[in-house]
Every structure is written in structure tokens, then in C-alpha cells.
Chains A and B, each alone.
Chain A
Amino acid sequence: MTALALARDTEVIDAPTLRARVEATAHRQRATANPSASLNVLTCGSVDDGKSTLIGRLLWDTDGLPADQRARLERSPKTALGTPDFSLLVDGLAAEREQGITIDIAWRYLDADPCRLVIIDSPGHEQYTRNMATGASHADVAILLVDARGGVKEQTRRHAAILHLMGVRRVVLAVNKMDLVGWSQARFAEMRAEFEQLAARFGFEEALAIPVSAVLGDNIARRSPVTPWYGGPSLLGYLGGIPARSFGADGDFRFPVQLVVRAGQDFRGLAGTIASGSVGVGEEVVEPISGRRARVKRIVTMGRDLTRAGPGRAIVLELDVDLDISRGAVLATSGRAPIVTRSIDTRLVWLADEPFAAERGYLLRTATDLVPIARIDVRAHLDLASIEERLASTCTANDIAVARIELGRSAVVDRFADLPGTGSFMLIDPISGASVAGGVVTATEGRKAMEKRGTFRLTRELLARGLGSDLAQADSGADQELRRRANEVAILLREAGVAVELEDAWSEAGIDAAAVWLWLMAVLSFSFVGAVVLGLV
């Protein structure tokens, strides 16, 4: 009887190990369910933790590598352990490190049974925050690589914080170079405990620690016999079992309209990719800004019409009535409605080399809309080391900021935590066109919220009945006059200290957007509306 077997017989199973085993079983069951067809995997780690070796090893162990490259590697100098130096497969990119791309993430593709793995590699050097955030925005799962000799360092904490911010919900801690710590179970258990604490703090959906040796291949493609005390899956085993991109499949339907497709005399369809949820022929859709509704007549794709389409499908919707909408609109179905708002609370990563400039007049790029911004208030920075917010009023490259963005007109968004596809955005410099920041919506100042706080909403209908009753209907000159009066009423109300909101259909048609959210100090009552007022500062 070997010592190893003895050790196993007397092994005390601690709670985390037990959990890992249960997870491993769950993982096996899940694998038979509906594995993802394509999985985006972000790799992150500090310099020398073995990231290049790990990626090279994944290429080697799957079927992503042409034989000429394989042969070349076999002929190349070996590592200290006598294995091929897998990092050479990845270092083909070394030359580009000097070419100075501002944000560089590298993409690699490998066919692993049962799915396509897309490896997104973000470099770990000093500019890592914006690089990693960019990479993480595309990731379904992240591998945090650490050196078994170093422990879970501050760097790992920072990485976890970025993953959390960008909405990555599955994280693997690959404890590498286990061969250099004698495959110590105790060392691994210690690191796993630290990692689990971290994972709990960020509320990751799945957090798994795996003991590996990138250079030797243990627990990479297959479970290794040198870690009998580890009950979980190998790295590729785990990745291969991750279910198809689940978020949004049964979530609320969101369809950001990319463009209008016209064909022949009669056909007018709305082209777009379903951001979340699904839609079927005959179902009712609503455009949240106008509140107008229509039914889906056809779901068109080349080749055949569909009766139902789910998240990620690129389709053309033909509706039974023309909603007169175009690019930038978002269609929804019943269920939780999207938020129509002019003010969003956000977290954003500053990407540009040029710092934030308050007077710059940035544009907000949502799924398909481009919205003018009235004002951005940077309020705090997230300190990645302590994961606490510190007051701040500007930002520069690599800062993660908390900011409130006031929009020049209404936009349709969701909270990122609810629906990532319609809850993320980029900030665009209007002159250079550069993408200066990327961010997520954390909260919104929705219509309803404002109403509760005493905002008076001026609707067209309200004014047309009284103040505009002398004006002829359906006359464009009259419409203009009504708008002018609305504007005047808004100014009066504002001076009276009433927070006023104009109905969207109007404000877009020409009323100065800056006159829209108005908070003043004085409190006054206004007889014909009887508004209740709360002073908001």
C-alpha cells in the first residue's frame, strides 16, 4: 500500500473540498445538458505567473495547432523541466508589444470538445486595468492565474474587482506551478480559501480553484493523478461544461434597432440583434419612449422565416403596424419594461490617454443609440486595492470612476446587473471619434422616481386641452406655438421652484434640453397644477 493511498484513506474532508466535489458532480451532470457552442475565456495574471505557458499548453492540448507549428516547437529549446516551451506559441506576438497599441488584447481560437474556445488575452503590464476591462467585456468566464509560491496577491484582488465590474460571473483560480510546491494540498487549500473569500465578496456565480502545472500539463486537459486530493474537474473539463450563454435567454426581451430594411413597395422591417429574451410571431412589442405597440408579423432571415427567435439572433422584424421608429429605438415585450431616462448612474473605465474634460460634450453610445450628453459628474474613484470608493471629480487612463451622466434627451437603458446587453455603454469624443470610456449603468433616475420626488410632468395633452385650446389641431404652425407655450410654462414653473419634466415627444422636437431637469430652491405652489414640491439639491 503506497503512502499516497494511505493518505487518501485517512483524508479529512474539509468543507471547501466537499463543496468542490459536489460541484464536480454537478459539473458532470451539467456537461451533458447543453454546453455552450462557443465560450469566450479571458486569461489574466501577473508577469511570470505562467500565462503564456498556459495558453500555449491549451493550444497544444486541443486541436488548435497546425503540425508545422507543433514540429517547430518540438525542435525549439526546452524548459528547465525538459518539456517544450509552450510559451513560444504565444510569444509570436512579442514584437507587437512595442508597436504601442493603446489597448491590446489578443484573440486566439481553439476547437475543444465540445465547444469553440475563444481565448482573450489581456497583457498584465502596468496598463492592465483598461486592457483587462476591455477583454472582460467580451468574456463568459475568466481564468485568474496565480503562482502557487506567491499566494493570492493584491493583483488578484484587483483583477477580481475588474471582473466583477464588467459582469464576468464565472471565475477560475488556476493555481499554477504546483510542481514547485511539491503538489502541496495544504498550500492549495490555503489559496483556495483566500480565493473563496474574495469570490464571496464579489458574489461570483461560480468560483473554482484548480491546482495546475501549465508546463507539465497537470489538470489542464485531464485530471492529473498527482492531485488525488483534488476532486474537481480539469481546466478544459470545466470550460467544456459551462452551459450556453444563459443570461438573457429567459430574460426580458430587448431588441435594439440597428436599421430599417426596406424592400419593394411594401416591406419595411426592423433589423437588429436580440440583446436578451426572445420573441415570437404574433407577440406584442412596445417602443418604450412613445409607448406605442404593435404585433410581430414576421421574423425574417434569409432562407426562412422563424416563428420564434432567442438571444443573440440577428433578425429582421416585420410589425403589423408601422411604429415609425428607426435606429436607436429599443423594442421590448411585456415583462419588466426598459427604463426611459435622462440621467444614469454609472461605473466606467477611462480608456483614453487624454483625461476626462468636463466641457468636452461627449456622446453616449448605447446598444444602437448615440445620445448627446448634457453633463457628466465624476463623483468617486474605485480604489482597486481596498475596493472602496474615494471622492474624485475627474479621471485619467485606467481609473474606474463612479459618475452620473445627464443626457440631452431620453434614452432607453437597463441596469447592467439586470440586462448587460442594454445596460452597457461607451463614451465617445465627438471631435476625434475616439472611444474614451466604457461603462455600465448601475442605477437610473427614471421618470417614476422623479415623479415621486415632486417632479411635475408637462404633457402635450394637458396643455392642448387648456392653454392651447385656441389652437387648431394637426397644424404644424400650431404645434410650434404649443411648444413655445410649453417652454414658457416650463420656465415659469422652474422659477416657481417646481421640478419640471417635458414630455419626450416635445423635447426632442426642439425644446432646449437644458430646460428639462430643473431644480430650484424656492418652493411655491402653482394653482392650476397643484404641484407638490421637494427641493432637490
Chain B
Amino acid sequence: MTAPPTHLDVLEAESIHIFREAAAQFRRPVLLYSIGKDSTVLLHLARKAFYPAKPPFPLLHVDTTWKFRDMIAFRDRTARDLGLDLIVHTNEQGRAQGINPIDFSPSVYTDVMKTQALRQALDKGGFDAAFGGARRDEEASRAKERVFSFRSQGHRWDPRRQRPEMWQLLNGRLGSGETARVFPLSNWTEKDVWRYIVREGLDVVPLYFAAERLTLARNGTLLVRDDERMALRPGESVAPKRVRFRTLGCWPLTAAIESDAADLDSVVAETVAARVSEREGRLIDHDEAGAMERKKQEGYF
């Protein structure tokens, strides 16, 4: 036998298994592609699962119109280079109403531009299952999440309808009106994701690497103003700082961290020595206590 498997090999095989089970059991799956590091790993694993064929499902990006420009460029390049079918969906009613992350509370904004947008896109495409990159280590309320997570009519997450999962057996038989979310990265940690990116030599959005960027200090966090839509308040100014991002989302809601980690190895080193938990950088999570729990019930990942 060849070299004994490392724990990344174990995780990789498990994720591939999950992809294949879902593809075999669901009628019309879709991969939720959110451009960040987790999505990068998710997509890579999807390609491995069906090689030499292409993944038998499209990618779906819910575009809030507030993503970093670098993210959008990376998204389009990835889909083109890999020859994959990419669906981009924006909640047009939300856009028409001018819902944005600066003037509205994060919970309203997230609900309209992410949660509702996702539901619209899933309904429109007739998708009965959606792959997501959520991990159980991300946040306490996810520690009990299933690999196949079921949503009843209207995409609601009902705790009582979640199915026990035993051994490697994944049950994807849908009850009427049900759809599923599938999480192939359930057992990965943030460190695993980075280690795997290094091991597989994967490309990620450059925002993960430190560079001098124009930053704005607001509410105790550092923001990078990606365009002019965010007006400066009196007394505020932008200043160049060496920063990078640990997670990527809508730029007015994503805090940068000061860092010198400008390449993969130093990002991994920094992550492994992580001083704070990952979600500290996501402003929506601080909105209200228990916010995550509620968002999940409403259909946001």
C-alpha cells in the first residue's frame, strides 16, 4: 500500500463521497458558489468527485451587488476557465427598493439580499438540493448540523425534521415540498481549508493576502472601501494600511485585519496561530445574539 492517508486525505474522500451521494439521490442539485476560500475548496472537491466528467450541476452565486470587485472578477474567471455553468442571481425587488448594507441594518439587508435572494434563485431553478460550504467548526450553532440538512416548504429549517445520520449512510429521499442543503465540508476546520488550498495549489481571491489598501476605521473595525457608494462621515478619512481578509463577503460588512501575510504560507501560518475565532470578522454575526440561529431557520446558511 502507498503512504498512509493523512487527515486531509480522509476529509477529501469523505467530501467526495458526499458529493456523489447527493448527485445520485437528488434530481437537480446546484452548488452555491460564494467565491471565498470555502467555495474554492468545495468546487475543487466537486470536480474531483466526478472526474473525468464535469460536475453534473451548475454553480449559483447570489450577488448582493456589494461584493468586492476582485471577487466578481475571480468568480467569472473561475467559471470560464473550468468551463462550468454559472448562474448569477440578484434580488431585483431588493435592488429596486434600494436595500443596501450601509443604510439598513445588517439583519434586514441579509434577509432581503441574501436569504430571500437565495430562495428566489432556488425556486426559479427548480433545484431540490444545494451544496454549501458551511463547516461545523464555524460557529456553535452549526456543531450539530447534518450533512444532508432538510428544508420544508418555503425553505424553512425545522429542527424536528432533521434526520439522524449513521455510518456513511446518507438518506436523500425527500418528503413532499422538501428540499435539501448538502454540506460536504461539514467536518473541515478553517485550518484544514487553508492547508488543503496549499496542498492542492488552489487559487484564491487576492483579498486573502495582505497588501496596502485604503482603509476606513468605523465602529471599531477596519473596512476597505471598494467603491464610492459608502460616503465618509464627518471626521472620517481613509488611510493606507497593510491588511487582508479572513473571510470574504459584502465589503461594507467585512472587517479587514492588519497583517503582513502576503502569500499562502504566511496566511496558513497566521491561521494556525489564530488569535481570534474566524467569525469575529463578520459584522452580521454581531448584530444580535442568536442571530445565526434565526438566520438558519429563515433559510440563510
Contact = CB atoms under 8 A, between A and B. Distances in A.
B6 A37 contact: yes
A34 B166 CA distance: 27
A298 to B, nearest CB: 10
A138 B186 CA distance: 14
Nearest to B1: A310
Nearest to A101: B159
B178 to A, nearest CB: 7
Contacts of A68: 275-277, 280
Contact of A312 (B10, B49, B169, B277): B10
Given A69-B277, A310-B1, A37 B7 contact: yes
A66 B166 CA distance: 30
Interface in A361-399: 363, 365-368, 370
B27 interface: no
Interface of A: 34, 37-38, 66-69, 92-93, 95-96, 99-109, 111, 115-116, 118, 130, 133-134, 137-138, 244, 249, 258-259, 261-264, 267, 269, 271-273, 278, 300-303, 306, 308, 310, 312-314, 316, 327, 351, 363, 365-368, 370, 420-421, 424-426, 428, 430-435, 438
Nearest to B178: A433
A261 B50 contact: yes
Contact of A273 (B13, B137, B173, B187): B13
13 contacts: A66-B275, A93-B140, A134-B165, A137-B167, A138-B166, A244-B4, A267-B52, A312-B5, A313-B13, A316-B51, A365-B171, A433-B178, A435-B165
B203 interface: no
Given A101-B159, A259-B20, A433-B173, A351 B164 contact: yes
A92 B276 contact: no
Most buried by B among A134, A302, A432: A302
Given A115-B7, A424-B169, A426-B169, A101 B1 contact: no
A258 B53 contact: no
A272 B187 CA distance: 20
A537 to B, nearest CB: 34
Given A66-B277, A271-B20, A278 B1 contact: yes
B57 to A, nearest CB: 13
Nearest to A99: B159
Contacts of B159: 99-102
Nearest to B191: A111
A106 B51 CA distance: 33
B163 A93 contact: no
B229 to A, nearest CB: 31
B276 A262 contact: no
A273 B17 contact: yes
B144 A100 contact: no
B85 interface: no
Sorted from nearest, which 5 A-B pairs have the closest CB atoms?
A433-B173, A302-B51, A314-B16, A137-B166, A92-B140
B154 to A, nearest CB: 17
A309 to B, nearest CB: 9
Contacts of A367: 168-169
B2 interface: yes
Contact of A433 (B9, B12, B168, B175): B175
Contact of A261 (B52, B136, B191, B275): B52
Contact of A424 (B5, B21, B52, B167): B167
Contacts of B235: none
B175 A66 contact: no
Nearest to A94: B140
Nearest to A166: B166
Given A93-B144, A102-B160, A428 B173 contact: yes
B168 A259 contact: no
B164 A102 contact: yes
Interface string B3-43: 01111011111101100110110000000000000000000
B162 interface: yes
B143 interface: yes
Contacts of A103: 162, 164
Nearest to A105: B144
Given A109-B137, A273-B13, A104 B275 contact: no
A262 B168 CA distance: 24
A258 B159 CA distance: 29
A435 B164 contact: yes
Nearest to B173: A433
Q: Chain B interface mostly helix, strand, loop or mixed?
A: loop
B174 interface: yes
A149 to B, nearest CB: 30
Given A249-B1, A424-B166, 5 more contacts: A67-B274, A67-B275, A101-B162, A421-B167, A433-B173
Contacts of A300: 51-52
Contacts of B144: 93, 96, 101, 104-107
Contacts of B266: none
Interface in B97-152: 136-137, 140-141, 143-144
B17 A258 contact: yes
B173 A107 contact: no
Contacts of A95: 141, 290, 293
Contacts of B274: 66-67
A316 B280 CA distance: 41
Contacts of B143: 93, 106-108
A116 B192 CA distance: 10
Contacts of A258: 17, 20-21, 24
Contacts of A428: 171, 173
Contact of B13 (A133, A314, A366): A314
Nearest to A262: B53
B295 interface: no
Given A271-B50, A424-B169, A38 B275 contact: no
B225 interface: no
Contact of B1 (A69, A115, A261, A308): A308
Contacts of B2: 306, 308
A420 B167 contact: yes
Nearest to A438: B166
A187 to B, nearest CB: 34
Contacts of B12: 314
B48 interface: yes
B277 A38 contact: no
A103 B145 CA distance: 11
Given A106-B143, A273-B168, A434 B175 contact: yes
Contacts of A37: 4-7, 9-10
Contact of B164 (A108, A134, A272): A134
B275 A263 contact: no
B213 interface: no
A30 to B, nearest CB: 14
A367 to B, nearest CB: 7
A300 B51 CA distance: 8
Contact of B51 (A108, A301, A312): A301
Contacts of B7: 37-38, 115-116
Contacts of B173: 363, 370, 428, 430, 433
B47 interface: yes
B93 interface: no
Nearest to B164: A103
Contact of A263 (B52, B163, B187): B52
Contacts of B162: 101-103
A261 B53 contact: yes
A258 B23 CA distance: 9
A314 B47 CA distance: 13
